[in-house]
Structure 1
Amino acid sequence: MTGTNTAEAIVHPDATATGKPHYEVLDGLRGTAAVMVVIFHIMGMPIAWSDQGQWLHHAAMAVDFFFGLSGFVVAYAYDARWTRMSVGQFCTFRLIRLHPLVLLGVALGLISFLVDPFAPDQKLIPLSVVLRDFALACLLLPHAVLPNRWTDTHSLNSPAWSLLQEYIGNLAYALVLRRLGTRALGAALAVTAAVLLWLLWQRNSIDMGSDWTTWWGAPARMAFSFTMGLWLYRVRERAPKLRLSWVALSAILVLIFATPLVPHSVPHGNGLFEAVAAMVLFPAIILCGAHSEIGKVELALCKFAGRISYPLYILHYPFLLIYMNYALFRKPPASTLYLAGAGSFVLVVAASWLALKLYDEPVRAWLKRALT
């Protein structure tokens, strides 16, 4: 990868905060994972998260993949800047990049909760309580469980739990991890891997952290995958330079997510499979994506997928909560539910693109001019 000048950064609005061009295949893979999360939620909500009827059995692991990508990209964008950048400036850059859509997602979550026509019990919650939770959610802080929101720590917009972890990981990078040599960073990675392996051995699943019953699993997942991404960036030139297309790497991701759960008759089997995916397969996919080159058509698809991935991930849940309550309270026939699910998918993609173009990019551009 090479640097870019200011003019090139203007031509490519999806450049990093430093003006460097993105690793386009990695951007495309982030889009692939975001789509898988949306489909996973569309399939899981009407069946109360039962695995029977779910096709993307391990798609909750997309969050671990996101954390790994984030560590790699943060190291790429910022490792060389610390001689001329303060911790405060770094935090400002990251808040500009991430928080406008956090706020929009929370606002959509509030609207979704208040106007949902399919869940009358939500109207029984005092508005003061909902607004209190809204204020906490704007700061990415966990809040009390609201009706028809399972036991999520971020009831108004559940995916925000992972953004809280993202912020924690970024702060750890700015204060400590960036200062470590490659060997010390590798040692830190080994410690986080041991903790995550222990949790997987105990719980037999990596799907933890988004709800109040498993909230303590969130930092363990983030700590390993984010540190792994940082370390991978440091050693990328020493790793084998395997090259696969975005389509091929996306297919591998989908296969991982679609692999059936290991039966309980195999003790710890599911946890071990997810450990291999998070600790071996995901790093290999990231390295392959970082080393790969693609043609113009695939490049255009990766750019689009990369740009829409974050809005799609952070904004889809409030829309799908209305779809979920329609499915659970109205209990429509399967054919109608399939149409509702397909329509919801189209809606969230369209809304995410409009949010990117009409809100996120203009707001970020204004914030950059005002604050940097």
Structure 2
Amino acid sequence: MIIDQNKELATKPHYPILDGLRGVAAIIVVTFHLTEPLGTGHLDILVNHGYLAVDFFFLLSGFVMGYAYDDRWNKMTVGNFFKRRIVRLQPMVILGMTLGAIGFYYTDSTIWPLIHTIPIWKMLLVMLIGYTILPVPLSLDIRGWEEMHPLNSVGWSLFFEYIANILYAVWIRKFSKTALCILVGIAAIALAHLAITNGDVSGGWTLNVEQVRIGLTRTMFPFFAGLLLSRIAKPTRIKNAFLLCSLLIAMVLYMPRIGGAAHLWMNGIYESICIIFIFPLIVYLGASGVIQTQRENKICKFLGDISYSLYLVHYPLVYFYVAWISNNKGVTIVEAWPYALLILIGGIALAYASLKWYDEPVRKWLRKKFA
């Protein structure tokens, strides 16, 4: 879902600022996952709206999808489209699931008492299913969190990313602007209803009716709103767009919970406004932005390069951190921050190494193989 479709089609110029924003949001996701176990629930997590980064990724993916592919269907088959998506997505999916499997038994803790009872064949079966990004049923919940992907929690959003890709390639790419506007409008109403009635849009990672509904609702509006934006937007030239958009993303995602337990609907309104209005604005500003210095270009390139790999490799590291907090009840942010910083820096380093030594070489080999 934090995917650089542009780089697959090198003949088209891409948006370097959007690359950089993808990386900024990916780093904020890591900080969210590092502060999440220190809270008691959604109301008091330090990086309270960090999960909205996923909705931003969906919107960004839809925008770049439209830009990269909308005018290429006269010389590209649906089969070729899916080959491109598999080459782009699956190598890091496989690595992320493998890392989760390697660390699985070493994260046994009070929060996951089930782990030491799981036979290795069952863990390996979950890993192999994970390689396909298909969700595992609750009968294969080997960690105890009722996740679609118990070896790498973030895999759920890639599952819905694939669903959006399939809908786009098979059907929705043919929509006129009017039809797409209607679809996006209906999806916006569904998203706002979910957010306001639940108090937030958090969810989508369990294979049951309610959670799949949440996942689909979180995917449909931002992805296809991004597609619509790519078709109707006429980017201008805006200076300092990367800094401005980075600050906007940080403000939205680091915003404390609004309304508290007594007024959940208030937070739902906030999240609806963020996803339906602010995120499209950020993407438009980013697409309109002008890189002003070589340094800014290098920063955006680095952040864009590591964004997808960071998203896929950081959570296997976070499992160790969560297990440590679980085994040491009462850990405070003051005690935890050095370990959290180590995970963050280690995750970025692992993401860069994974990109250069694994992801890029494997994708290059696969492109030649498919060609």
Q: TM-score, normalised by structure 2?
A: 0.91
What percentage of residue pairs aligned between the two structures are identical?
34
Specify the SS of the correspondent of 1:133.
helix
CA contact (8 A) 1:311 1:353 kept: yes
CA contact (8 A) 1:148 1:325 kept: no
- The alignment yields a C-alpha RMSD, in angstroms, of 2.1
**1:160–1:14: structure 2 CA closer, same or farther, 3 Å change rule?**
closer
Matched, 1:43 2:20: no
1:78-227 → structure 2 map (5 Å cutoff): 78-116=69-107, 118=109, 121-143=114-136, 144=138, 146=141, 148=143, 150-212=145-207, 214-227=211-224
Deviation at 1:307, TM superposition (A): 0.6
Deviations 1:220-256 (A, max 9, x none): 111111000100000111x776654212211111111
Tell me, in whole angstroms, the C-alpha distance in 1 between the residues paired with 2:179 and 2:218. 20
CA contact (8 A) 2:93 2:131 kept: yes
CA contact (8 A) 1:14 1:307 kept: no
CA contact (8 A) 1:61 1:257 kept: yes
Q: Which amino acid in structure 1 is aligned with residue 146 of structure 2?
A: T
Tell me, in whole angstroms, the C-alpha distance in 1 between the residues paired with 2:264 and 2:321. 36
Match of 1:283 among 270, 273, 280: 280
1:307-326 → structure 2 map (5 Å cutoff): 307-326=305-324
Q: Which residue of 2 is the match for residue 10 of structure 1?
A: none
CA contact (8 A) 2:325 2:331 kept: no
Q: Which amino acid in structure 1 is aligned with residue 119 of structure 2?
A: P
Specify the SS of the correspondent of 2:202.
coil
Q: Which residue of 2 is the match for residue 366 of structure 1?
A: 365
Q: Which amino acid in structure 2 is aligned with residue 259 of structure 1?
A: M
Tell me, in whole angstroms, the C-alpha distance in 1 between the residues paired with 2:58 and 2:368. 28
Deviations 1:150-175 (A, max 9, x none): 23221111111000111111111101
Q: Which amino acid in structure 1 is aligned with residue 174 of structure 2?
A: R
Which is worse superposed, 13-22 or 222-231?
13-22
CA contact (8 A) 2:56 2:279 kept: yes
**1:272–1:241: structure 2 CA closer, same or farther, 3 Å change rule?**
farther
**1:277–1:348: structure 2 CA closer, same or farther, 3 Å change rule?**
same
Q: Which amino acid in structure 2 is aligned with residue 182 of structure 1?
A: K
Aligned residues: 358
In structure 1, stretches of 5+ residues that fail to align are 1-12
Match of 1:292 among 253, 276, 289: 289
Which is worse superposed, 28-37 or 193-202?
193-202
Q: Which residue of 1 is the match for residue 47 of structure 2?
A: 56
Which is worse superposed, 271-280 or 144-153?
144-153
Tell me, in whole angstroms, the C-alpha distance in 2 between the residues paired with 1:262 and 1:196. 18
Tell me, in whole angstroms, the C-alpha distance in 1 between the residues paired with 2:108 and 2:190. 44
Q: Which residue of 2 is the match for residue 25 of structure 1?
A: 17
In structure 2, stretches of 5+ residues that fail to align are none
**1:36–1:126: structure 2 CA closer, same or farther, 3 Å change rule?**
same
CA contact (8 A) 1:16 1:77 kept: no
Deviation at 1:51, TM superposition (A): 3.6
CA contact (8 A) 1:323 1:341 kept: yes
Specify the SS of the correspondent of 2:201.
coil
Tell me, in whole angstroms, the C-alpha distance in 1 between the residues paired with 2:330 and 2:187. 45
Tell me, in whole angstroms, the C-alpha distance in 1 between the residues paired with 2:40 and 2:118. 22
Match of 2:65 among 67, 70, 74: 74
Q: Which amino acid in structure 2 is aligned with residue 165 of structure 1?
A: F
Match of 2:227 among 225, 230, 233: 230
Tell me, in whole angstroms, the C-alpha distance in 1 between the residues paired with 2:85 and 2:134. 17
**1:327–1:231: structure 2 CA closer, same or farther, 3 Å change rule?**
same
Specify the SS of the correspondent of 1:266.
helix
Deviation at 1:88, TM superposition (A): 0.2
